[in-house]
Amino acid sequence: MSKIDLWFGEQYGRENGRYLNIKVDNVLEKLQTPFQEIYVVHSPTFGKILINDGVVMLTEDDEAGYHEMIVHVPLCSHPEPKEVLVIGGGDGGTVRELLKHPQVSKVDVCEIDGEVIEVCRRHFPNLANSFDHKKVHIYLEDGAQFLISRKAQYDIIIIDSTDPIGPGTTLFTEHFYQSIFDSLKEDGIAVSQMESLFWHTGFIQDMFLFLKKIFPVTAYYYTMVPTYPSGMIGFSFCSKKYHPIEDFRPERVAGLSDLKYYHADLHKASFVLPAFAKNDLQI
């Protein structure tokens, strides 16, 4: 397509006076699936951008801050992370990072919208090529339904979902996280995308009210991603046994390759929350 001069404005949060604007010079693909509208655009600042239902999913420039942190924090806290499930994750970035851990023997990916995977194969091959690895198995199913028949099966479950709107709504309920608990082995860990400390305080607080009832160990940590709401995004760390700081294995970090964001000191620091979050969220 020919070059253009447009500005993309993310609608999510606009009702509260917040608006992300990114200059775009090329629309590479537009696709309507049964689940969502997908755009791939090019930005002179951020490179290629994946947009689902008007919300930025990733950019080539800053995706590492998200994908490295959602993966390496739980995998460097578990002594033997062999079998891993990714719910969502259709861009392939989370799987790419998982495959950097030689202990991992199997990665199941449950993505409800197969078109996301195909779009990312075309436009983000450095992420989506990870789906071709022999350890990876793709299931095009609803995550909540997928878990019903898989009890005590996974060492790690990563919920790499969209925001709690549209097809991602069912992945933020107490019933869903009880299913996550049941699908983990006796010492399993679950990590999920958990929105922004600055913009979604009430949502995070409500989520942790029931996460604490389900899991013996819970914590919130965060990463910096300039194109996400407020420039950061957080994660819930939920574990049946292991603590993300007390059981952290820094020696494992040394074996990881091609890291742009994550490192051993940052692992620990990411759990240190600002005063307002410690006081208001009580997580």
Pairing of strands 232-239, 184-193: antiparallel
| Residues comprising the chain, all counted | 283
- pLDDT of res. 200: 84
What angle do the packed helices 174-183 and 201-214 form, to 10 degrees? 40
Higher pLDDT, 193 or 11: 193
Higher pLDDT, 91 or 18: 91
Higher pLDDT, 243 or 255: 243
b/e burial code for range 74-105 (CB count within 10 A of at least 16 → b):
bbbbbeebebbbbbbbbbbbbbbbbbbbeebe
Lowest mean pLDDT among 161-175, 176-190, 234-248: 161-175
Helices (H), 78-200: 93-98, 114-123, 125-128, 143-147, 174-183
CA distance 273 to 276: 8
CA distance 197 to 181: 24
The answer to whether the pTM exceeds 0.85 is yes
* C-beta separation of 41 from 27 below 8 A: yes
- In angstroms, the Cα distances linking 244 to 25, 30, 77 are 42, 40, 5
- pLDDT of res. 182: 97
Please provide the average confidence, as pLDDT, over all residues in the chain: 91
Higher pLDDT, 202 or 27: 27
The number of beta carbons lying within 10 Å of the beta carbon of residue 117 is: 18
Pairing of strands 217-224, 184-193: unpaired
- pLDDT of res. 166: 54
Helices (H) and strands (E) counted in the chain, each on its own, are 10, 13
pLDDT tens digit string along 42-87? 999 999 999 998 889 999 999 999 999 999 999 999 999 999 999 9
- pLDDT of res. 165: 55
* C-beta separation of 155 from 80 below 8 A: yes
- Quote the radius of gyration of the chain (alpha carbons, Å): 18
- pLDDT of res. 230: 86
- pLDDT of res. 15: 55
Does pLDDT of 263 surpass 70? Answer: yes
Give phi and psi for 40, each to the nearest 5: -120, 120
Does pLDDT of 1 surpass 50? Answer: no
Cα 39 versus chain centre, distance = 19
pLDDT tens digit string along 87-102? 999 999 999 999 999 9
Please say whether the dihedral angle defined by the alpha carbons of residues 191, 271, 197 and 47, taken in this order, is positive or negative.
negative
Question: Which residue among the candidates 108, 160, 206, 280 is catalytic per the annotation?
Answer: 160
160 is catalytic: yes
Give phi and psi for 182, each to the nearest 5: -70, -30
The stretch 134-162 carries a mean pLDDT of 94
The stretch 207-221 carries a mean pLDDT of 94
CA distance 65 to 262: 7
Percent share of the chain, pLDDT over 90: 73
- pLDDT of res. 21: 81
Place of tokens 């620990």: 268
Percent share of the chain, pLDDT over 70: 90
Residue ranges covered by each domain of the chain: 6-59, 63-281
DSSP state of 86: E
List own/partner pairs for 171-176 with CB under 8 A and 24 or more apart.
171/87, 171/88, 171/143, 171/144, 172/207, 174/210, 174/213, 174/214, 175/144, 176/143, 176/144, 176/147
The CATH fold assigned to 6-59 is: Spermidine Synthase; Chain: A, domain 2 (2.30.140)
Please say whether the structural domain 63-281 has been given the CATH code 3.40.50.2300: no
Does pLDDT of 163 surpass 80? Answer: no
